[in-house]
Structure 1
Amino acid sequence: MTPKSLRLAFRASTSGGTLVLFALALPVLMGIGGVAVDYGTWVKQRSQLQAAADAAAMAAARELAVNAFEPLRMQAVAESWAKKAFPADGAEIGLATTVSSLDDGRSVQVRLTSERQQTLSGMLAIVPGTIEASSVATLRGQRKVCVIALDPASSATIHLKSNAWLTAKGCDVHSNAVSSSGIASDSGIQVTAARVCSGGGFSGQGTFYGSRIGDCRGIDDPLADRLAPSPSAGCTATKASVVDKGTAGGRHLLQPGTYCGGLFIGGNSYVSLAPGEYVIKDGPFVVDSNADVRGDGVGFYLTGTGSTFQFLSNARVDFNAPRSGAMAGLLFFEDRAAPLLRNHEIKTNYASNMTGTVYLSRGRFVVDATNDVAQQSAFTVIVTRQMLLTANPKLTINTNYGATTVPVPKGLGQTDGDVHLIR
């Protein structure tokens, strides 16, 4: 072989070795590139996981406003929100959720762990490992809830018509209705509240002062566990009627008891109600036009057929709820077996003091007046199936809880406030 042919053979041999080396190095080079590509995916995945942990912690902390920390319930809530908020680009990635309560009892910590998504880095047999995120949410402050419409299924569960005004400064007005018109209003209405919340939305016009929020979480009946009064056997009176009794200086006195067939207080009567529980059974409680009725420490339990209340035009009503007993804090308690959506009506302009809670879990609270209502009350709380303000009433919901010894029933007045992320 000539020297030239040897040189040519050597060159051929060198080129073949380079190809072999390149072939051997190619998987390594691709693996390194794959790690770089997957690293960008892991950064995005970590960001998504943190957002999911934040959402899950916020949702779990909101549950503390309903009840104390319960591990199974909190775990279910957190897992649901974490899966909803962590799509991981549609990949089937394992997601582990751990929920714990912090020492203050008002904070919840959620820890999420997920497998890393792996695309190209597997060429180097790299074990993907896991990504973790943690978030803590807490309840801060307190909110005052003074009006709750419990009906979740209907529209216009809070309905303000004509030129009705609802003034609830410093407290929340809440409708559980999930309808897009859960709270309905006419153009002339005015609502003043710290916050007006609808489980669905709002329809109509009018003026709202304060926050107006849709898609609010529903509020369970805060008095659902409250035991109803136990009426005594027999009737204190049957179809009792007080007509033209008493004077401004010497009032006719009624005693607590069971009023079968209802209680009618006729026009121009001056009546005082002695403290205690008044069971209005199988008939309405009617205060007729121009009557004047006062009672301190009185509560009305409405049970049986036709057991509603009606305060007719120009009747003067001044009530403070009981301070103790089965009706403590409650002005009206509607039987939970009552038919749905019976009207309980205030048609007078002179129902100036209604200190206490109006609890109508089955009924509709109607104010059909042309002037101020409840404006002199220390506080009023309304829990009703539905509420209708019509004509031109100005219903005032005060929250001066410290100005009276009438108690605010547990679960009303003050509730846990807003949820905040703290880390």
Structure 2
Amino acid sequence: MWSDTCGRVGKLFSLTVPLMLVAGGPVVDFSEQVWVNSKLQAIADGAALAGAREISMSKSDPAHIQKIVLDYVNARKQDTGSMAPLDVQANVAPGSSGVTVVISKEWNSSFSHIFGINKSSARALATAHVVGNTKVCALSLMDNEDMPGVQLADSAKLSATDCGVYSNSKSANSVLAAQSAKLEAHLICAAGGTSKGLTAGLSPVPMTDCKQVRDPLAHRAAPAVGRCMEVDMVVGKSTVLFPGTYCGGLTIKQNAWVGLQPGVYVMKDGPLLVEDEAELSGQNVSFHLDGENAVFDFSKGTKINLSAPQAGPLAGLLFYETPAGRVEEERNPVQSSLLAVLNIQSSQKHRGRQADRLHRISSSGARKLVGTFYLPNSSLQIDAEGPVADKSAYTAIVVRNLKLLKGPHLVLNTNYGATNVPVPRLIAGGDIRLSR
């Protein structure tokens, strides 16, 4: 009796399972299709935005924009589940006014093949439009309420007469010029405020409570870091160096002249130091600063002559710091922002702690620096006794915190037509709008 009942149940189950698969299989396939569609749409949206932000490079050609889109998609294709390839189309609108991205995927159906439907497919489309392109020469990304984003003291001067200087700091002294320091720009815009007694050196009078400017280069993917080509390299005589990964950093000293062949120089877990009366020169070069201690320091008696690449993964970027998270400044609730700027101490050349990341230009011979400094985690301190970057066609700075001390004159030109180095226009006041 028991075995007979089990037999009938087994037969019934064997008959109903195929029916359940026939009835429910397409539902499973449909659910998978909806899921893949949502993933593709998220990737298409992000890729279109990445491409549109890259259009802010004034001389970026469509092929370069398309590569940015493809790199973005390839880095996230595993999010769509199966290993079936993605078909990606990226089209740049006339006049570089936007980017349209279409992503499609086709894969073998899990159950629908029972009905003769062997393939499932999904498709996503996104368009990002570029609206506005205000030029920005200097942008501080510091976003806390305790420290200034842009600080000048000791008769320092910053000239950016054809572009804007922006500070995301919400400090009461978001932009600060003390001790006869002067900042002259087309526009000064502070997310925080400025003290009445500390605006005499600021021209024009800063706009306060500005909307914080988004990091215009956050979408740039960090280039791959290759195997060590050199380890703890020290150069004391004239030579020519080649692109590659310099593990432990690179030190150039004495009166050595060092010429750089075009390409990307990776400083891995160590600093780029130019000391004594050494000279560093290179065209179409970029420095990728990756890992702990990857900072640069150009000493007082040195000469620096550098121009960023015209093409490639770091086109337009003279210095690129891997954006490995924001670095928090040490906060002292007793010390005011003014005392902070007046008591800034010179850092040691070898800086181990993340909170101490400081790049430094003390050289009065750093007159030609064509390209963009992208240092989102760190402070850039300029304490040269003379002009800096004044012979450059253009120089742009995107940094966590900018400090000018001891009398330098930082000149941020915007003679974009005088160079073939692409220029990040650093969108501020404009926007990028997404549509589907």
Match of 1:241 in 2: 234
- Cα separation, partners in 2 of 1:177 and 1:289, compared to 1, 3 Å: same
Count matched residues. Answer: 275
Tell me by how many angstroms 1:289 deviates: 2.1
Between the aligned partners of 1:351 and 1:287, the Cα distance in structure 2 is: 11
SS at match of 2:135: strand
Cα distance in 2 between the residues matched to 1:333 and 1:181:
28
Say whether residues 1:156 and 2:148 are aligned partners: yes
| Higher Rg | 1
**Matched-pair contact (CA < 8 Å) for 1:288–1:315:** yes
Change (3 A) 1:282 1:417: closer
Q: Does 1:383 align with 2:398?
A: yes
1:201 pairs, out of 189, 193, 197, with 193
The within-5 A match list for 1:29-108 is none
1:309, CA displacement in angstroms?
0.2
Residues in 1 aligned to 2:292 and 2:426: alpha-carbon distance in whole angstroms: 31
1:212 to 2:206 alignment? yes
1:178-232 CA distances to partner (integer Å, 9 max, x unpaired)?
1111112214011110011110111324422234211111001000110111011
Q: CA 1:291–1:218 in structure 2 vs 1: closer, same or farther (change >3 Å)?
A: same
- Please state if 1:147 is matched with 2:134: no
Moved more, 182-191 or 299-308: 182-191
The amino acid that maps onto 1:179 is: S
Where do 5+ consecutive residues of structure 2 fail to align? 1-51, 54-96, 98-129, 326-353, 432-436
1:324 CA displacement: 1.0
SS of residue paired to 1:402? helix
Query: How is 1:6-405 mapped onto 2 (pairs within 5 angstroms)?
Result: 142-153=133-144, 154-203=146-195, 204-232=198-226, 234-243=227-236, 245-246=237-238, 252-337=239-324, 339-340=354-355, 342-405=357-420
% of aligned pairs identical? 38
Deviation at 1:267, TM superposition (A): 2.1
- Residues 189 and 206 of structure 1 are in contact (CA less than 8 Å); yes or no, is this contact kept in structure 2? no
Report the alpha carbon displacement of residue 141 of structure 1 after superposing the two structures with TM: 7.2
Whole-angstrom CA distance in 2 between matches of 1:357 and 1:379:
8
Comparing 354-363 with 330-339, which one deviates more in the overlay? 330-339
> What TM-score results when the alignment is normalised by the length of structure 2?
0.60
CA distance in 2, matches of 1:142, 1:395: 24
One-letter code aligned to 2:386:
N
Whole-angstrom distance in 2 between the partners of 1:198 and 1:403: 30
CA drift at 1:303: 0.9
1:210/1:140 CA distance change after superposition, 3 Å: farther
- Compute the displacement of 1:416 (Å): 5.3
Confirm or deny: 8 A CA contact 2:216 2:427 kept in the other structure.
no
Distance in 1 between residues matched to 2:383 and 2:151, nearest whole Å: 12
Paired residue type of 1:288: E
Instruction: State how far apart, in whole Å, the 1-side matches of 2:411 and 2:167 are.
Output: 18
Label 1:326 to 1:187 Cα distance change in 2 as closer, same or farther (>3 A): same
Alpha-carbon separation, structure 1, partners of 2:281 and 2:261: 9
Which shows bigger deviation, 314-323 or 330-339? 330-339
3-state SS in 2 of match to 1:180? coil
Q: Deviations over 1:390-413 (max 9, x none)?
A: 10000000001111000013xx34
Question: CA offsets per residue over residues 16-69 of structure 1, 9 Å max, x none?
Answer: xxxxxxxxxxxxxxxxxxxxxxxxxxxxxxxxxxxxxxxxxxxxxxxxxxx89x
CA distance in structure 1 between the aligned counterparts of 2:171 and 2:429, rounded to whole angstroms = 25
Structure 1 residues not aligned, in runs of 5+ = 1-66, 69-105, 107-138, 247-251, 419-423
Give the AA of the match of 1:351.
A
Cα drift, residue 387 of structure 1? 0.6
- 1:406 and 1:240 map into 2 onto residues whose CA distance is 29
TM-score with structure 1 setting the length? 0.62
Equivalent position amino acid for 2:138 in 1: V
Q: Distance in 1 between matches of 2:162 and 2:242?
A: 37
Q: In the aligned structure 1, how far is the partner of 2:203 from the partner of 2:260?
A: 38
Q: Please tell me the residue identity of whatever aligns with 1:395.
A: L
Task: Pick the structure with more strand per residue.
Answer: 1
Change (3 A) 1:362 1:341: farther
Task: Output the CA distance in 1 between the equivalents of 2:292 and 2:132.
Answer: 43
Partner amino acid, structure 1, of 2:266: V
One-letter code aligned to 2:229 = T
Structure 1 CA distance for aligned equivalents of residues 273 and 179 of structure 2: 32
Matched residue type, 1:188: S
Asked whether the 8 Å contact 2:177–2:202 carries over to 1, the reply is no
Higher-RCO chain (CA-CA 8 Å, sequence separation at least 6):
2
Q: 1: distance between equivalents of 2:131 and 2:245?
A: 45
**Residues 340 and 362 of structure 1 are in contact (CA less than 8 Å); yes or no, is this contact kept in structure 2?**
no
What letter is aligned with 1:407? Answer: P
